[in-house]
A = this chain, B = another copy of it.
Amino acid sequence: MKTNKVQNHCHKQQKKNPMALSMKPFIVLSVAVNVMLFMKQFSWSNEQMDENAKGVHLKEEKMRVSSSAVIDDGKTPIVLDHGDPTMYEEYWHLVGEKTTVVIHGQQGISYFSDASKVCWFLEPQFERAVIRLHKVVGNAITEGYHIVVGTGSSQLYQAALYALSPSDLLEPIEVVSEAPFYSSYPLITDFLKSGLHRWAGDASKYDKDGPYIEIVTSPNNPDGSTRQPMVNRSGGMLIYDLAYYWPQYTPITYPANHDIMLFTISKCTGHAGSRIGWALVKDEAIARKITKYMEISTIGVSKDSQTRAAKVLDVISDSHVHKGNFDGISPFFDHSYDHMAWRWQQLREAVNKGKLFSLPVFPSATCTFSGRTFGPLSAFAWLKCESEVENCAEFLKQHNICVRDGSFLGSSSKFVRISMLDKTEKFELFIQRLSIMNTAIA
């Protein structure tokens, strides 16, 4: 989240650029192509739908196509630097009252939820909702695991480092992850100059002996690839960051059963503002240390947000379990998968229009949850600037597109990370601008 700095920079950058001035002739064509592509992609077979369902589906489609009419002036700053999942607002608006929560003044006063539990601030209804959703999706084993709730998965990442770092080492334990990696890992690991742990960079280049901690992010942030541990040496401890292991982003291929697994509602349901994540932890002693970190750093986790997260997760489970009886609204992961597939098709079309950019391609697999066969629909695009462009972020910034420089993610400035989860209107502006840049320069 190097958000503010970059964003402010972008907001200030309202100066004219020559490229923007030459874009107008392409705009009408671009909009027309856009609408045509959409019509092709979403030629639903509506015969079996009842009238109500038809109405809702039309509303769902309309949400995606309505903003295609936006005309890009080339100047509006498009900030896609951080993974703010505002794309999901549309779905929750559509679902309406089902996801509303009511909290009374006398609720949630105490620090405690259940003092007898390892995680004493874990709300029972949130725990039940997490277990239920993992069972519905089949993306993680929960039996035999302790659940620890966190203020987002960032806090759980720090808590897991705290829990795994031996306190008797002379030097801090080294923490690695295969590049390209989430740019916050080094920052979070080192910002307090902890004597417990220190960032040691790319796991694929790590060749030291002795204990280490490896973060396995799968699907990976930024590129969406499926990851395995890289170092595989004795003395290694693993933290699995599974924030994106949900069926709108990647095929679910097995129920994950690692020692420590981190999840977050921010990327699962889109409710980033609630700051709720959870860890599934096999070993009780480790779960207690993770809980201890939460106790010392924030004396637990917001009960209001846990209450709300429980409701949202339950509504998602309901939308799949009671498929035919959900007011005609598509089940959550079906809707989200459709939307991500549509966004990725848009992006690949724009990239394929010229030779300026490229995107990685990863193999397809069959999803045990949906039965669909597809390749990663990553929450971020890991875009490479081809030709002579050495600093891709700087190049895009000249076109008022703000994204994250690949050098912050353990890679080079030839790459950038672009959020695929922002609002549809902003996403479409971005696609228009990228298409025009690509066509004009080619």
- Per a CB cutoff under 8 Å, which of B85, B98, B194 touches A192? B194
Interface members, chain A 1-54 (any B CB < 8 Å): 1, 3-4, 7
Interface members, chain A 86-139 (any B CB < 8 Å): 86, 88-89, 92-93, 95-113, 115, 120
Q: Which of A103, A105, A272 has the most CB of B within 10 A?
A: A105
Contact indicator A4/B151 (Cβ below 8 Å): no
Contact indicator A110/B272 (Cβ below 8 Å): yes
**A271 adjacent to chain B (CB < 8 Å):** yes
**A385 adjacent to chain B (CB < 8 Å):** no
Bound complex: CA of A124 vs CA of B129, how far in Å? 31
Contact indicator B109/A270 (Cβ below 8 Å): yes
Bound complex: CA of A298 vs CA of B273, how far in Å? 11
**A146 adjacent to chain B (CB < 8 Å):** no
Contact indicator B162/A192 (Cβ below 8 Å): yes
Interface members, chain A 183-206 (any B CB < 8 Å): 184, 187-188, 191-196
Q: Which residue of B lies closest to A112 (CB)?
A: B84
Contact indicator B191/A193 (Cβ below 8 Å): no
- Per a CB cutoff under 8 Å, which of B82, B275, B293 touches A301? B275
**A177 adjacent to chain B (CB < 8 Å):** no
Bound complex: CA of A437 vs CA of B99, how far in Å? 53
Contact stretch, chosen from A57-65, A68-76, A243-251, A302-310: A302-310
**A315 adjacent to chain B (CB < 8 Å):** yes
Give the residues in chain B near A108, CB-CB below 8 Å. Answer: 271, 273-274
Classify chain A: how many residues form its interface, as a range.
35 or more
Bound complex: CA of A115 vs CA of B96, how far in Å? 27
Contact indicator B105/A100 (Cβ below 8 Å): yes
Q: Quote the shortest CB–CB distance from A36 to chain B (angstroms).
A: 30
Give the residues in chain B near A84, CB-CB below 8 Å. Answer: 110-112
**A299 adjacent to chain B (CB < 8 Å):** yes
Contact stretch, chosen from A152-160, A216-224, A333-341: A152-160
Please state the number of chain copies in the assembly.
2
Contact indicator B104/A100 (Cβ below 8 Å): yes
- Per a CB cutoff under 8 Å, which of B89, B300, B312 touches A275? B300
State whether A120 and B3 are in contact (beta carbons under 8 Å apart), knowing that A84-B112, A96-B105, A302-B302 are contacts in the complex: yes
CB-defined interface of A411-434 with B at 8 Å, one 1/0 digit per residue? 000000000000000000000000
Contact indicator A273/B194 (Cβ below 8 Å): no
Contact indicator A104/B99 (Cβ below 8 Å): yes
- Per a CB cutoff under 8 Å, which of B4, B113, B184 touches A120? B4
**A349 adjacent to chain B (CB < 8 Å):** no
Q: Quote the shortest CB–CB distance from A82 to chain B (angstroms).
A: 7
Bound complex: CA of A438 vs CA of B301, how far in Å? 39
**A234 adjacent to chain B (CB < 8 Å):** no
Give the residues in chain B near A92, CB-CB below 8 Å. Answer: 104-106, 109
- Per a CB cutoff under 8 Å, which of B101, B111, B155, B276 touches A102? B101
Q: Quote the shortest CB–CB distance from A51 to chain B (angstroms).
A: 24
Bound complex: CA of A188 vs CA of B304, how far in Å? 24
Q: Quote the shortest CB–CB distance from A197 to chain B (angstroms).
A: 9
Bound complex: CA of A276 vs CA of B272, how far in Å? 17
**A296 adjacent to chain B (CB < 8 Å):** yes
Q: Quote the shortest CB–CB distance from A109 to chain B (angstroms).
A: 5
Contact indicator B305/A302 (Cβ below 8 Å): yes
**A387 adjacent to chain B (CB < 8 Å):** no
Give the residues in chain B near A86, CB-CB below 8 Å. Answer: 109-110
* 8 closest cross-chain pairs (CB), A and B: A99-B105, A193-B195, A108-B273, A273-B303, A92-B105, A92-B106, A302-B302, A93-B106
22 residue pairs from A and B, CB less than 8 Å apart: A3-B115, A4-B115, A4-B295, A82-B111, A85-B109, A88-B109, A96-B105, A99-B106, A102-B102, A103-B103, A103-B308, A105-B312, A110-B273, A113-B273, A151-B298, A151-B301, A155-B297, A184-B296, A193-B196, A274-B304, A275-B301, A275-B302
Besides A109-B271, A304-B307, 16 new A-B residue pairs in contact (Cβ under 8 A), listed by A number: A3-B112, A4-B115, A4-B120, A4-B295, A82-B111, A84-B112, A89-B109, A96-B104, A99-B106, A100-B105, A111-B266, A113-B273, A154-B298, A273-B300, A275-B299, A275-B302
